[in-house]
Amino acid sequence: MPALFRAPVRLLLPVLVGALVATTLLTAPAADASVHDRERVSRHVITARDIALHQIGDRYAYGAAGPNRFDCSGLVYYSYHRAGFGGVPRTSSAQAGHARHISKKALRPGDFMFFTSGSGVYHVAIFLRWVHGRALMVHSPQPGQRVRRAFPWTTQWFAGTLRGR
C-alpha cells in the first residue's frame, strides 16, 4: 500500500471498527424479554409467599381479605395484590380459573394448591416446599383458626401457578 494511503487508513480504522460494532449492536436481537418477565414474575411470586408468611397468626374471618383477618382466598388475594399481581381474582374458584394448572411435581414455592370436592374448588393455599414427600403450605384454614403452616388433610387438590401466564 502506498505511503499516501497508510496514514488515512490508520486514522480511519478506529472509526470503521466503531461503526461496525455499533451496527452489530443495533441489529443484534434484543435480550429475550420473556426471560426478564419470567424472572420478574418469579420474584413477585416469592414476595407474595413472604407476605402470606407474615400473616401467620392472623385470625380467619369468612369473606375477609386483610390486612389482619383472612379467609383462604382472601389471604391469596391480599398477598398477591401486595406483591404486584393486580389481576388475581378474589375467590378460590375464580383463582383456580385464573391460574395455569401444573403438575404437583412442578410446584415451586409461592404457587397455589387448590382443594376440590364434587362441587368444585372449596379452598386454596400457598405452597411453601416439599417435606419428606408432603406439600407444606400456608393457608387460612377455617373459622376459629388462624393463618398457619400445615400439610394437606387430603389428596384431593391440584396445583396452579401464575408463572408462565
Given a cut of 60, whether residue 101 has pLDDT beyond it is yes
d(CA 53, CA 147): 8
Given a cut of 70, whether residue 155 has pLDDT beyond it is yes
d(CA 162, CA 3): 67
Q: Which CATH superfamily is domain 48-161 in?
A: endopeptidase domain like (from Nostoc punctiforme) (3.90.1720.10)
Residue 158: the pLDDT is 97
Residue 144: the pLDDT is 94
Given a cut of 80, whether residue 3 has pLDDT beyond it is no
The neighbour count for residue 104, using CB atoms within 10 Å, is 14
Catalytic-residue membership of 44: no
d(CA 65, CA 73): 8
d(CA 11, CA 13): 6
In the predicted model, what is the mean pLDDT of residues 96-122?
96
In the predicted model, what is the mean pLDDT of residues 140-165?
94
Catalytic-residue membership of 132: no
Sequence letter at residue 85: F
Evaluate whether 109 touches 127 at the Cβ level (below 8 Å).
yes
Question: Rounded to two decimals, what is the model's pTM?
Answer: 0.77
d(CA 110, CA 30): 30
4-58: per-residue pLDDT in tens? 545 555 555 455 445 444 444 344 444 454 666 667 778 889 999 999 999 999 9
The neighbour count for residue 32, using CB atoms within 10 Å, is 9
Evaluate whether 85 touches 96 at the Cβ level (below 8 Å).
no
Catalytic residue among 72, 98, 101, 132: 72
Catalytic residue among 44, 54, 98, 123: 123
Catalytic-residue membership of 72: yes
> Mean pLDDT for the chain?
85
